[in-house]
Amino acid sequence: MLMVGWFRKGVLMHLMLRSIVAAVVLVSAGAAAAQDGYTNIAQSFDGIGKAYMGREIASFMSHEGAPWLERPGREQQERTDKLVELLDIKPTDYVADIGAGSGYFSFRLSKRVPKGYVFAVDIQEEMLALIKDKIATGEGDNVIPVHGSTAGPKLKENTIDLMLLVDAYHEFSLPREMGQAMYKSLKPGGHLALVEYRAEDASVPIKELHKMTEAQAKLEMAAVGLEWVSTDSTSLPWQHLIIFRKPSAE
């Protein structure tokens, strides 16, 4: 009986220790999640069930949405022509269109950099195929399709003068990792132009998770070391144009 009692006590102690260790592991995992900004949340329609710095990440647009990106009324509706004009670009610049989709902006940017390049980065092979098809017709011979990953655009470090992200960043499933990788690929002093539908404006006819506030954008870019330069929330009908910069001296 004595032996059995000791054995039971030993098993109990072992189980208690295991629970303590499990609790410690869980608490540290929670702390790590809080530290990197990610938290798991109840998935809403159109979201991925994960929040970053308090913002639920939207699910990304499938390549089947490409005709919407290329719709004839887009230029007038979103003043995409004005957006391209507003960007400070030199003819020799290396520009990256991150989350390029069908390449709507890549080919418009290509005309602005006749002596430079446009890296059209996307994670969907089908979107890149649309871009390659367009290049094959002779359009945009300085456009280079790049198959990025969800964690980074796979561009060389310190090479990009300007990154343009139109209606894409809010869909990145790993925004922190993407932000860190984009930061690395920018040249010191290089700019990142973030274009997102204005969440502050209820009249913008876009689903909530596909919009961002200026404050949230600033918070997330600051988290990866990008400095805010300017915000233009009036030139475009529906979107913010927010410019950030990688510091010149690190």
Whole-angstrom Cα distance, residue 2 to residue 132? 79
Whole-angstrom Cα distance, residue 85 to residue 157? 27
Nearer to ligand SAM, 93 or 122 (CB): 122
In angstroms, give the least distance from the CB of 105 to ligand SAM.
Answer: 6
In angstroms, give the least distance from the CB of 4 to ligand SAM.
Answer: 59
Nearer to ligand SAM, 110 or 124 (CB): 124
Nearer to ligand SAM, 100 or 199 (CB): 100
Bridge partners of 95? 118, 162
In whole angstroms, how large is the CA radius of gyration of the chain?
Answer: 23
Residue nearest to ligand SAM (CB): 101
Please report, in angstroms and rounded to a whole number, the separation of the first and last CA atoms in the chain.
71
Nearer to ligand SAM, 57 or 142 (CB): 57
Q: What is the DSSP letter of 136?
A: H
**Tokens 């690929």, residue?**
185
Binding site for ligand SAM (CB under 6 A): 60-61, 69, 98-101, 104-105, 121-124, 127, 148, 150, 166-168, 171-172, 178
In angstroms, give the least distance from the CB of 41 to ligand SAM.
Answer: 19
In angstroms, give the least distance from the CB of 210 to ligand SAM.
Answer: 8
Helices (H), 37-96: 66-69, 74-78, 80-86
